[in-house]
Structures are given as structure tokens and as C-alpha cells.
Amino acid sequence: MRFSALLLSGLLLGLTAQGQTIQRCAADEVYAHEVARDPQREAFRAETEAEMQRVQQLGMPESVVHQIPVVFHVMHYDQGDNISEAQILSALQILNEDMRRTNPDTGNLRALFKGVAADMEVEFVLANKGPNGECTNGINRQWSPNSLKANNAIKSELNWPNTKYLNIWVVRTIELTGITPGSIVLGYSAFPYNGIPVTQDGIVIRHDHLGNVGTAAGTRHRTLTHEVGHYLNLYHTFQNGCGFGDQCADTPPVVSASSGCNAAQNSCSTDSPDLVDMIENYMDYTNDACMNTFTLNQKARAKAVLNSPVLRGNLTTAANLLATGVTGTLSCSPVADFELTRSLLCAGDALTFEDYSAYLGNPIYHWNVLDVNNQVVHHTTTQNPSLVMANPGQYTVSLTIQASNGSNTMNKPLALTVRPAAGTTYSPWFIGTMEDPLPNADWTTTTFADSSYWRRTTVASKQGSASYLFQNHKLPAGGEVSSLIAGPIAFANTGTLNLRFAHAFVRRAASNNDQLKVFVSSDCGATWQLARLIPAFQLGINGAVTTPYVPAPADWKYTTINLASLGLQGAGDLMIRFSMVSGGGNNLYLDDVQLTTTLGEDELAAPSMWVQPNPSRGGATLVGAEGRVRITDLSGRVVAELTANGEATLPELSAGTYMLHTAAGVLRWMVL
């Protein structure tokens, strides 16, 4: 039958998260977008339906458990979304229990549907052998800025043959054409057709909706179960509304996507007998806790796909299971793989690793740490070493695995930065000069080996002859990709310490949502506190410039941040981090970074945050603030702390002038 792009328009869940709409699945929107680009896709879908009918007419047995090799590509942006193996295993366990109907909530299915509930007889197994015969645990890891606002483009960065593996890309967030901007998309999958390329196939899913531990703790997430249904050519139960668009006679029609868990819901009367909606079906949009079943007709469709040699059939053949290490005696070459626990240390700190290597037997490890002159400063054969880094500098780290089936080496050139152990004392204030190329004694970046992000420039400056430029103009809107870091800096407990810096920026379009985040650390970068978030409209001049931006002298602005609001007085050495979150805007310039004890007028916050009434007698309310708020007097002494969630009641204080310090800025509050 013919499925029009119009009928496949997406339906949103009636859920919000901090004002954002949650969309459980975007498979229909992705398909509609592909049809708009290539109308031939509708013919492919018709061919798929015809092929499934052909296979079903052959009467091939369904009582066979099909195994499918799986590879997870963890496309992480930072440590938070570089999820653990335990989280991936929990996701696979939930998926397989749901597919085999061994899930612990099968008893929640209502009696009228128990007769059509199905064991899908499909199991998903992590691959043990990669496409080139290498050992694997079925999990690849790669840093990617495209993990933010991911779409099909991320599939080109890392993939394995889709005729041999189910590729699952785990990302931070998803943003797609056809989806309301700002919506939270949980995942999407490709529908099968003959010859589908790997760059259009597979599943993309958010890390925090995968499994039930780690970043997805607390809920038995069924997003992967739902997307695997699409991968096996199952449609939404609400496909085409009260028609039978999902091609399954044993799923009652649903007029539109369900939400919540309303057992009394009966949105269509076109079925006979007229049944309530099957809110328990994995292919609806009900809550994860409400879902618990596939049906016999859905199983028949999935089995037809798996029995077809031109759809998903090759995945489950004995030859492919042997080639991917799912069955048989495993023989594979080792793979060295690791990540640094921290890429920024201070002299005297210990360097440790996350080891993701794959091998057979008991290999020998060779860790090497080399300085910029390729001189070895550490060598060890300990599998999980802790190496004290004595001297500041930039270092390359390598790991060689020697196993019975060969050896393999991974190099991470200049991946480690070690800063001085003790902060440099600057008097009377620290002035972060931008006169020297990066990295230098004062400044480094998280991508100093790649000058396409931060670099020194002489085309504009606020003081001296140079500034530091973040080349935002040539980056896609996708989030923070590099940070500029100063310190450690020694300072005395002066009562009031302020960070002051000059910046210049302009948007390329009014819709650009770039942000500059300023962080401070008092433990050499082990942890960072957000000191200020500066949105695009505050960061630079008004208007839009489409060509690479070079600021005029009048374009520069100053921002001052009172660090007393972070509780850092007397904390010792400080590190400062400037992180640009790219939102499609133009270049950013930084200059004249100072630590001072002078309170600046430029420290006042944006008009989107205010105190009412101000001045006040008795009660007052802080409006427009989020997160931690510190209230200080003019000497910098903290007099109160509270947490704001859009609005907060301020405490009653004695008459005087107070400063309200938030991540978005500082407000002056007068009490009469």
C-alpha cells in the first residue's frame, strides 16, 4: 500500500521538560524528510511490503529464535554521556526481555489482550568480532561534537556494515528537520528496504533514555524496544489514525499517539468488536511503565523481515553469526582502546585511564607517556596504572596491547596538559595577556593541537596588540567544542575577588543562540563551578553579520563576575575556563582578563532577571533566576544562600545594599 508523507507527519507527546516538548520517536519525521528529498523512497517502502508478503506466503517457520549482532557506537561529547558498559548491558537486557516476553511486567497486560501477546523470538547479542576480524565487546567510543543535536550525519563518522550488524548510535541530544525546534527527541530508527545504505540505517538514541542505570537510572526505558520495532518494519499503532495503518489486525486502531497510561482510552470505533486502545503496546507513545507487549501480527511482520534475504535476513544467518563472533570459537586480533580520566592536570597529580581494550587471553600492556620532544617520561606494563606527572607541559599517551593473536597500538597525540602545581602570583591583579600564541605559561585550550578553534589573532584587541579568537564563524551550531583555560592563579583572601574580561561578538542571524560559559575551579580542574552564562544577546553587539566578524574598537564589552558568590574566598589557586557553546553565530574575541578587588558597574545582570519590589521593606521576590543564589553585602561577605527555580522569595535582611549572585549575572538589591 502507499504511505504518503502527509500521513506520516509526527505526533508529539503531551509531556514537557522545563518547557520543552518531549517527542518519544522521530522515525516518521525522518522518513517524511527522506521522501521529500527522494520520492523514490515511497516505492522502496511498497517494495518492502510486497517482499514481506512474498516471504509470508512461503510459510516459513516462525518458531525459530533469530539472533542479531549489535554494535553500540557511543558518540560522546563529554564524560557525562560517555556511558558505561553496565548501562549498555542493562539496555540490552531490557530489550531482550521485552522481545522474548520475559519482562517482569507481563502480568500488567489486560486479559482481553493476553491471547495476542507474542514472544517475538528475536534476541540481540553484542558482537565479539569487528568487520576486519578484530576483537570487540560490541561497544565503540568516539568523541564527537555532532553528538549534540545529532542527526543522520553522525552515522558517517563511525559505522559497521549494516548487512552484518545492527548499528546503534548513542548520542547526547537529537535535532532533526521536521521537528519543532527545542523539542526533546528520544530516538529514531530506519525502516528496512533492499539496499539501504548504512548512513541511513540503524538506530539513533539519547544516552539518558537507554537502559536503567547510569545516566538513565530510575526508569525501565523502552525507547530502544520501540525503535527496534521500527527497525523490524513495525509501524506505530496510531499510524493513519483510525484506519489500519500499522498493518496488524490484532492491534486496535488508535486515533493519535497516546500518552500517560489511560486504561479506559478508546479513541476509535472502526474496529469490530470495538476494543479499547492497546496502551500496553510497545509501538504506541504511552509511558515506559505502561508498555509491556508486542502482538502476534507484529511478530509475523518482524519474522518476514528477518526471513527475507534482501531485508534483514543476512543478519541472522549462521555464516554471519560466526563472522561477528556471536557463535563458534572466537579468533580475533587485539584492539588497544582507552581514554584519559582527565585531560587536564596540575604537576603532582596522577594520570589514570579508562581502559576499553578488547583481546583474547592475557595480554601484555605497554603504556607510554611522551613529552613534546618525544622523550618517554613514563613507561609501565601495569594494566591499570596511576602515573604521577611531575612537570608541566603537553604530553602524548600511547598504549600497545600484545596478545596471542598479534598486537595493536593506540596513540593520543598531545592529549594531556599538565599545568604548574602552584599558582602564579600576580600583583596587584592578574592580567591574562593574549600576546603569546597558544598554549603558553598563562593559557591553554582543550584543543591546542588544533588551531581551528581558539587561536591568537592581531586583527583586533582591547588592550595590547592581540586577543584570543574563537573561530565560531566556521563551526556548525552544535555546542561547545573547545575551552580556553587560565591558571592556576594564586590569590590572597581579599574579601572580594572579581573576574573581569573584555569580549566582542555578533550573531549571524537573530535566531542564533550561542552562549559563553565561564567556569572556575579551585582543585586544578577536577571539578568546575559555573560562574556565569552569557547568552548571545548580552555577549556582543546588536544586529547580524554573515561574513567573518572583526570587531571595531567600540564593539568591545566588559563583564565582571564577583567570585564571592561561588564560595571561593580563601580557597587557594584558581583556574578559569571560558567555554563557547556554538549556536550558529559569528566569531568571539576575548581580551584583558583580570582578577581584581574592584566592583564594576558592568557586573549588573540582564533585564530578564529582577527583584520586585526594589528597594524593598520586608519581603521581596527574585524573578527570572535559576539555580544557586548567594547574597553578599558590599564587602563580599555571604549573608544568605538559596536556590531559585524561576522565582524565589528573598530573606528579610537588615537595611543596606546587597548583591545577588547567580549564574546569569549579579543584581543589586536595596533593603530600606
Cβ proximity of 324 and 164 under 8 Å: yes
Q: Which of 26, 33, 41, 25 is nearest to 6 (CA)?
A: 33
Q: Which residues contact 132 (CB under 8 A, 6 or more apart)?
A: none
For residue 415, report the phi and psi dihedrals to the nearest 5 degrees.
-85, -15
3-state secondary structure (DSSP) of residue 325: coil
The catalytic residues are 227
Cell numbers standing for residue 228: 527496534
For residue 248, report the phi and psi dihedrals to the nearest 5 degrees.
-125, 115
Cβ proximity of 648 and 585 under 8 Å: no
Q: Which of 165, 138, 134 is nearest to 359 (CA)?
A: 134
Q: Which residues contact 178 (CB under 8 A, 6 or more apart)?
A: 10, 26, 29, 30, 32, 33
Distance CA 413, CA 411 (A): 6
In a 10 Å sphere around its CB, with 0-12 CB exposed, 13-18 middle and 19+ buried, how is residue 405 labelled? middle
Cβ proximity of 203 and 167 under 8 Å: yes
Instruction: Point out which residues pair with 424 in neighbouring strands.
Output: 489
Distance CA 180, CA 10 (A): 10
Distance CA 180, CA 578 (A): 30
Cell numbers standing for residue 624: 527570572
Cis peptide upstream of residue 535 (ω within 30 degrees of 0): no
